[in-house]
């Protein structure tokens, strides 16, 4: 099985991860991309907790169905929630409403706290759905799906090259770090350390540009003219239709709940 995007993102730490096959892997990549995009649009547009919590519940079910590693997935979600925690701490003090408490003359409001919690629920739901539907497919499969969906070729090329050469840039970084350690460099909080780190990232940028130029020349020598050629024919099957219809029905339900809450 080709390596999924969730595994490509771990190549910086050199992890060798395996993904267990599930029924979600049999769904057409275009259907998965479209459904995840529509899900994100509907959930982010929700203004109430009921549709957002239903979206989060659906996201958990998809994570379970896609057979993702629960511990690794939760670690990534917690990494995002650390940023959301800062939002929860700040937003109540910047949103007017019914006061909860005051700190140094600043008053926190219930409306601001609820708004921050709602944003957190929506962010977690969207992230888990992307992990389940998009991150479980390989980079080449995602590239072909985006190309079939008429996404501009330049964006498709940019995404594919980014995933492909993350590990190459990582190896360049590790090579230069080992060279610095061989010269007895030790990280400290002084001017020399900051200058050395600046030189390190500067050289990493220069080497990345040089490698990009060599890759571009090699592709032109092989007849590359800026067009993304589709090597496989994607066909919609019965499983794709059932999953697409079920997803649309669920999204219509969420939209209906939002409309009902607006008229209450």
- At 19-69, the pLDDT tens digits run 677 888 889 889 999 999 999 999 999 888 889 999 999 999 999 888 888
Domain presence at residue 228: no
Query: What pLDDT does 13 receive?
Result: 39
Indicate whether 93 and 168 sit together in one domain: no
Indicate whether 98 and 61 sit together in one domain: yes
pLDDT digits (tens, 9 = 90+) for 93-113: 888 888 887 878 788 888 888
Exposure of 54 by Cβ count < 10 A (0-12 exposed, 13-18 middle, 19+ buried)? middle
Query: What pLDDT does 17 receive?
Result: 56
Average pLDDT over residues 132-159: 85
Query: What pLDDT does 121 receive?
Result: 93
Q: Is the pLDDT of residue 143 over 50?
A: yes
Rank 32-41, 61-70, 207-216, 250-259 by mean pLDDT and report only the highest. 32-41
Domain presence at residue 142: no
The DSSP symbol for 11 reads: G
Domain presence at residue 69: yes
Q: Is the pLDDT of residue 14 over 60?
A: no
CB 33 within 8 A of CB 144: no
Indicate whether 29 and 128 sit together in one domain: yes
**Least reliable range by pLDDT among 54-68, 164-178, 224-238:** 224-238
Query: What pLDDT does 12 receive?
Result: 36
Exposure of 161 by Cβ count < 10 A (0-12 exposed, 13-18 middle, 19+ buried)? middle
**In 89-121, which positions are buried (b, 16+ CB within 10 angstroms) versus exposed (e)?**
eebbbebeeeeeeeeeeeebbeebbebbbbbbb
| Confidence at 194, pLDDT banded by 50, 70, 90 | very high
Indicate whether 208 and 241 sit together in one domain: no
Indicate whether 176 and 74 sit together in one domain: no
- Calculate the alpha carbon distances from 150 to 34, 38, 105, 156, 219 in Å: 12, 17, 54, 10, 23
Indicate whether 99 and 126 sit together in one domain: yes
Length of the chain, in residues = 264
Domain containing residue 70: 20-135+233-263
Query: What pLDDT does 261 receive?
Result: 58
Exposure of 186 by Cβ count < 10 A (0-12 exposed, 13-18 middle, 19+ buried)? exposed
Query: What pLDDT does 171 receive?
Result: 87
Domain presence at residue 56: yes
Beta bridge partners, 4, equal 138
Indicate whether 70 and 96 sit together in one domain: yes
Q: What is the CA radius of gyration of the chain?
A: 23
Q: Which residue has the higher pLDDT, 154 or 231?
A: 154
Indicate whether 124 and 50 sit together in one domain: yes
Indicate whether 110 and 90 sit together in one domain: yes
Provide the number of structural domains found in the chain: 2
Indicate whether 241 and 164 sit together in one domain: no
| Confidence at 199, pLDDT banded by 50, 70, 90 | very high
Query: What pLDDT does 55 receive?
Result: 92
Domain presence at residue 8: no
Vertex 85 angle, CA 80 and 86, to 5°: 105
Domain presence at residue 105: yes
Domain presence at residue 166: yes
Domain presence at residue 6: no
Average pLDDT over residues 112-132: 92
Say how far apart CA 119 and CA 142 lie, in whole Å: 28
Indicate whether 126 and 242 sit together in one domain: yes
Say how far apart CA 65 and CA 21 lie, in whole Å: 10
- Calculate the alpha carbon distances from 54 to 17, 37, 75, 89, 121 in Å: 30, 17, 22, 25, 10
Indicate whether 62 and 83 sit together in one domain: yes
Query: What pLDDT does 79 receive?
Result: 87
Element spanning 106, H or E: strand 106-109
Q: Is the pLDDT of residue 263 over 50?
A: yes
């Amino acid at each position: 099985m080709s390596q999924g995007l969730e595994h490509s993102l771990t190549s910086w730490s050199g992890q060798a991860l395996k993904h267990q096959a599930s029924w979600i892997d049999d769904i057409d990549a275009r259907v998965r991309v479209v459904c995840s995009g529509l899900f994100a649009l509907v959930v982010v547009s929700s203004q109430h907790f009921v549709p957002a919590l239903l979206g989060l519940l659906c996201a958990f079910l998809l994570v379970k169905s896609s057979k993702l590693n629960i511990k690794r997935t939760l670690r990534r979600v917690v990494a995002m929630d650390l940023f959301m925690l800062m939002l929860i701490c700040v937003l109540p003090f910047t949103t007017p409403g019914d006061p909860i408490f005051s700190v140094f003359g600043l008053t926190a409001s219930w409306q601001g706290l609820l708004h921050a919690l709602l944003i957190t629920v929506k962010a977690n739901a969207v992230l888990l759905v992307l992990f389940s539907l998009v991150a479980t497919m390989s980079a080449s499969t995602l590239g072909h799906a985006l190309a079939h969906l008429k996404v501009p070729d330049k964006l498709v090329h940019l995404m594919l090259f980014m995933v492909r050469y993350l590990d190459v840039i990582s190896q360049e970084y590790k090579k230069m770090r080992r060279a610095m350690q061989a010269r007895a460099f030790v990280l400290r909080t002084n001017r020399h350390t900051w200058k050395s780190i600046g030189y390190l990232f500067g050289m990493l940028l220069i080497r990345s540009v040089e490698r990009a130029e060599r890759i571009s020349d090699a592709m032109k020598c092989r007849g590359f003219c800026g067009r993304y050629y589709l090597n496989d024919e994607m066909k919609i099957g019965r499983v794709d239709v059932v999953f697409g219809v079920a997803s649309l029905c669920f999204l219509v339900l969420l939209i209906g709940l939002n409309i009902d809450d607006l008229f209450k």
